[in-house]
Amino acid sequence: MHFPKQVEIIEVGPRDGLQNESRFVPTEEKKQLIKQLYEAGFQRIETASFVHPKIVPQMADAQEITAFCNELGMEYIALTPNMKALERAIDAGVPQIAVFVGASETFNQKNIKRSIEESLAECSEMFRHAKAQKKFIRGYVSMCFSCPYEGAISYEQVKRIVAKFVNDGADEISIGDTNGQANPRIVYERFSALKKDFPDITFVAHFHDTNGFAYANIIAALNAGIKKFDSSIAGLGGCPFSPGATGNVATEKVVELFEAMEVKTNIHHQKLKDVANFAYSLV
């Protein structure tokens, strides 16, 4: 096995972690969480989604959260499910934009009520608009290994979406095990294939820990050459459109894992423990 000297961990807790919580987390508490994460050393944090608040009430304060992040002067990512959301995010001054498509047709329909082809067509328009504004663009591909509705997802299906994102100008692509059913073997094989087929794109690994395989999957992705990983403080999160999916990998455990392997993260470990305790108190 060959491991890098350093990795980047992208914290997604303030968005992906909190979006499913039934209790609305007060905006000031979200700001405090983001500030603490920033002070712990995270270079990039996914802070909000500009989804309609009727769909995800937890994200109703995206505008205020964005203004706060701009005041801090930090780099951050906001999720934009459609063109209208993208325009709102750009107007708010978001520096890094995330768009998403599911590799499962059924999941995509349940999640955003569009076919994969319809989603890709809109994403192309969103890419053009965001690029014209010189925004960094992250493409999320969800359900890249299996789906609770369709079962195993083929590599060709994932590759087709990734190819479209690459052609449209994505700066990085996050590959998601959205329902947490992947195992180290398929993770290694799939990321190795993606790296071979798209050598010039930056891939990010995004795991959920439904079956307890997530940390082994991180090692498998690392061994396949992946150096960027999404994680959520305190393991918060899930997906409302993926039955049985549990939380994301816990950031503090991911950092601890890499430290044990002598792989640098540039995250302050003790501060991170304090942030995790605070995050637990929010839900």
Q: Where are the domains of the chain?
A: 8-282
Residue whose entry in the numeric block shows the structure tokens 């591909």:
141
Q: Is the pLDDT of residue 244 over 80?
A: no
Summarize pLDDT for 203-238 with one digit per residue, the tens.
999 999 988 999 999 999 999 999 999 999 999 986
Looking only at the bridges linking them, the beta strands covering 151-152 and 146-147 are: antiparallel
Query: What's the whole-number mean pLDDT along residues 111-133?
Result: 95
97 beta partners:
78, 137
What's 153-197 look like in SS3? CCHHHHHHHHHHHHHHCCCEEEEEECCCCCCHHHHHHHHHHHHHH
Query: Which residues have C-beta within 8 Å of that of residue 7, sequence separation ≥ 6?
Result: 222, 227, 228, 229, 258, 263, 264, 265
Least confident piece of the model among 61-70, 100-109, 135-144: 100-109
Active-site entry in 69, 144, 147, 239: 239
Compute the Cα dihedral for 176, 168, 95, 114 and give only its sign. negative
pLDDT at 239 over 60: no
The CATH number given to 8-282 is 3.20.20.70
* Long-range contacts, stretch 25-34, CB < 8 angstroms, 24+ apart: 25/58, 25/282, 25/283, 27/61, 27/64, 27/65, 29/282, 30/61, 30/65, 31/65, 31/68, 32/278, 33/233, 33/275, 33/278, 33/279, 33/282, 34/65, 34/68, 34/69, 34/72, 34/76
pLDDT in tens, 1-43: 789 999 999 999 999 999 988 899 999 999 999 999 999 999 9
CA nearest neighbour of 129 among 76, 193, 80: 80
The predicted model scores a pTM of: 0.95
CB 53 within 8 A of CB 60: yes
- Identify whether the C-beta of residue 250 lies closer than 8 Å to the C-beta of residue 234: yes
233 HSE (CA, 13 A, CB side): 31
Q: Do residues 224 and 195 touch, judged by C-beta distance below 8 A?
A: yes
Banded model confidence at residue 241, pLDDT cuts 50, 70, 90? very low
Query: Is 239 a catalytic site residue?
Result: yes
- Here the tokens at position 154 are 């083929």
CA distance 145 to 139: 16
Sole residue written with tokens 């309609």: 52
